[in-house]
Structure 1
Amino acid sequence: MSSPAPAPSSHARFYALRLKPGEDIVLELRKFVRMHELQAVSIVTCVGSLTEAQLRYANVSEWAKVTGHFEIVSLVGTIDAEGEHLHISLSDGTGRMIGAHFGPGSAVYTTAEIVLAELTDLIFTREPCQLSGWDELTIRRRT
Structure 2
Amino acid sequence: MQPLTLRLSPGQDVRAALEAVLAEHALQAAFVLQGIGSLDVAQLRLAGAAAPTALRGDMEILTLAGSLSLDGAHLHMAVADAQGRVTGGHVAGGCIVRTTAEILLALLPGQRFSRLPDAGTGYAELFVAPARPA
**TM score, norm. by length of structure 2:** 0.93
The secondary structure found in structure 2 opposite 1:74 is strand
Please list, as runs of the form range in 1=range in 2, the aligned pairs for 1:1-143 lying within 5 A after superposition.
Answer: 12-142=1-131
Q: Percent identity?
A: 37
**TM score, norm. by length of structure 1:** 0.88
Aligned residues of 2:28 and 2:131 also touching (Cα < 8 A): no
* Distance in 1, Cα, partners of 2:129 & 2:10: 36
* Distance in 2, Cα, partners of 1:39 & 1:112: 23
Superposed CA RMSD in Å reads 1.1
The secondary structure found in structure 2 opposite 1:104 is coil
Aligned residues: 132
The answer for unaligned runs of 5 or more in structure 1 is 1-11
- Greater C-alpha Rg: 1
| Stretches (4+) displaced over 2 A | none
The answer for unaligned runs of 5 or more in structure 2 is none
* CA drift at 1:111: 0.1
Amino acid at match of 1:34: A
Aligned residues of 1:50 and 1:69 also touching (Cα < 8 A): yes
